Amino acid sequence: MGRGRAKAKQAKVARDLKYRTHDTDLGALARELHGDSGDDDSTESFDEYDKWADYPGPQRD
């Protein structure tokens, strides 16, 4: 019981997404989908794990 309000809200959001016009940056969407990034942040995210590259992990007996 009590599902009616949640279902109505989901229906409202779905209608809003379906019929509202959006100003979509299709170029940015294409870059995101193809993995092309204009900045070099992707290499920096792996640098923080480089110090653990030679770590053998836990020893199990």
φ, ψ of residue 33 in degrees (nearest 5): -70, -30
Which pTM was predicted?
0.34
What pLDDT is stored for residue 2 in this prediction? 74
What pLDDT is stored for residue 9 in this prediction? 94
User: pLDDT of the chain along its 61 residues, tens only?
Assistant: 578 999 999 999 999 988 887 787 888 889 999 986 555 555 555 666 777 777 777 777 6
What pLDDT is stored for residue 60 in this prediction? 73
